[in-house]
């Protein structure tokens, strides 16, 4: 599966963000990728803690998703990106997945809100339902996670139980002491312990670390960005993931399994 990781910094200007996304995706050639991933908050950045995200949120048929759908059709690729989804209450921090024909095939509403390091995402956003979301892209089962979810290994394991062979994780990983090291270590750990590929696409700029990366099921880096706006390519190999799972059958060797294995959505 051919992946493009589109790293950039969004702002609180939704029109400006759509223009950025339009230009970045416009630089991609059709039929070159199977999956294109943008960061968490691509539609609109979180902004200051006092900003009311209800005023920024859009419906799933709003201008941001409409733009993504048009590019998905043009590129012949699945696109995954983060937005704030309007509700009757606090918005959801939502990933949308658009198929290669521009159809909205899945939404994942962030389960673990970032109430950590002195920040409270739950003051402005609603948590999603505790339910794994897995989509099929180019014959590979791909689970969806968002940013802070990375610190909760049980979600990755639930995605594996739902059939995931790879996980895609749009993020806005905030800068701070050891945050790059923690990001890289946890992405690799989720890959190694679950014998799957990870695609982690981050925002960059003043607030976020960048360093989007893809790793294989052994934890080896397939592609990594720096700290600026960048598009990085990687290839996920389904046969290699299967080989790793035969070499290291840790998923079969589990003894503390409390849920039935499910199929992909």
What confidence category does residue 114 fall into, taking pLDDT thresholds of 50, 70 and 90? very high
**Residue ranges of the alpha helices (H) in 146-248?**
153-161, 179-194, 238-247
pTM for this entry: 0.95
Q: Is residue 121 scored above 90 in pLDDT?
A: yes
| Helix boundaries (H) for 92-211 | 153-161, 179-194
- Residue 229's DSSP bridge partners are none
Domain boundaries, position 235: 2-247
Give pLDDT tens digits for 152-178.
999 999 999 999 999 999 999 999 999
Q: Is 255 a member of any domain?
A: no
- Report yes or no on 262 lying in a domain: no
Residue 257, domain member (yes or no):
no
- Given pLDDT bands bounded at 50, 70 and 90, which one contains residue 19? very high
User: What does the pLDDT read at residue 256?
Assistant: 85
Domain of 180, CATH number, reads 3.60.110.10
Q: Is a pLDDT exceeding 80 seen at residue 264?
A: no
Is residue 254 assigned to a domain?
no
Task: Report residue 257's pLDDT band, with 50, 70 and 90 as the boundaries.
Answer: confident
- Determine, yes or no, domain membership for 153: yes
Q: Which pLDDT score, from 0 to 100, does residue 47 have?
A: 96
Residue 260 lies inside a defined structural domain of this protein: no
Which residues does the annotation mark as catalytic? 40, 110, 147
Could you tell me what percent of the chain has a pLDDT over 70?
A: 97
Phi and psi for 60 in degrees, rounded to 5?
-70, -10
Confidence class of residue 259 from pLDDT cuts 50, 70 and 90? low
What integer is the mean pLDDT of 53-65?
A: 98
User: How far apart, in whole angstroms, are the C-alpha atoms of residue 12 and residue 17?
Assistant: 8
Indicate whether 261 pLDDT > 70.
Answer: no
pLDDT greater than 70 at residue 258 = no
Average pLDDT on 10-24 reads 98
CA angle, corner 13, sides to 9 and 15, nearest 5? 105
In this structure, is residue 263 part of a structural domain? no
Euclidean distance between CA atoms 22 and 224, whole angstroms: 22
- 21: phi then psi, degrees, rounded to nearest 5: -60, -40
Radius of gyration of the chain (CA): 17
Phi/psi at 202 (nearest 5 deg)?
-110, 160
Q: pLDDT class for 265, splitting at 50, 70, 90?
A: very low
Residue 94: inside a domain: yes
Question: Into how many domains does the chain fold?
Answer: 1
pLDDT tens digit sequence for 29-39:
999 999 999 99
Ramachandran region of residue 211, left (φ > 0), alpha (ψ -120 to 50) or beta?
A: left
Cα distance between residue 190 and residue 155, in whole Å: 10
Average pLDDT of the chain to the nearest whole number = 96
């Amino acid at each position: 599966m051919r992946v493009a990781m589109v790293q950039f910094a969004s702002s609180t200007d939704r029109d400006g963000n759509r223009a950025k996304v339009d230009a970045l995706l416009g630089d991609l050639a059709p039929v070159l990728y199977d999956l294109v991933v943008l960061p968490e908050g691509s539609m609109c950045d979180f902004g200051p803690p006092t900003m009311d995200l209800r005023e920024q949120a859009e419906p799933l048929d709003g201008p941001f998703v409409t733009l993504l759908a048009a590019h998905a059709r043009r590129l012949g690729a699945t696109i995954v990106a983060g937005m704030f989804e309007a509700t009757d209450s606090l918005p959801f921090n939502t990933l949308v997945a658009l198929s290669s024909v521009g159809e909205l095939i899945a939404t994942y509403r962030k389960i673990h809100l970032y109430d950590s390091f002195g920040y409270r995402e739950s003051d402005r956003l609603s948590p999603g339902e505790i339910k794994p979301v897995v989509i099929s892209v180019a014959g590979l089962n791909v689970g969806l996670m968002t940013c802070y979810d990375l610190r909760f290994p049980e979600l990755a394991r639930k995605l594996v139980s739902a059939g995931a062979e790879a996980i895609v994780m749009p993020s806005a990983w905030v800068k701070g002491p050891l945050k790059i090291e923690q990001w890289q270590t946890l992405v690799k750990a989720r890959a190694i312990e679950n014998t799957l590929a990870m695609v982690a696409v981050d925002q960059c700029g003043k607030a976020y670390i960048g360093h989007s990366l893809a790793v294989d099921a052994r934890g080896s880096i397939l592609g990594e960005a720096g700290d600026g706006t960048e598009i990085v390519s990687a290839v996920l190999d389904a046969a290699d993931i299967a080989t790793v799972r035969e070499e290291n059958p840790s998923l079969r060797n589990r003894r503390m399994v409390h849920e039935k294995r499910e199929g992909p959505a």
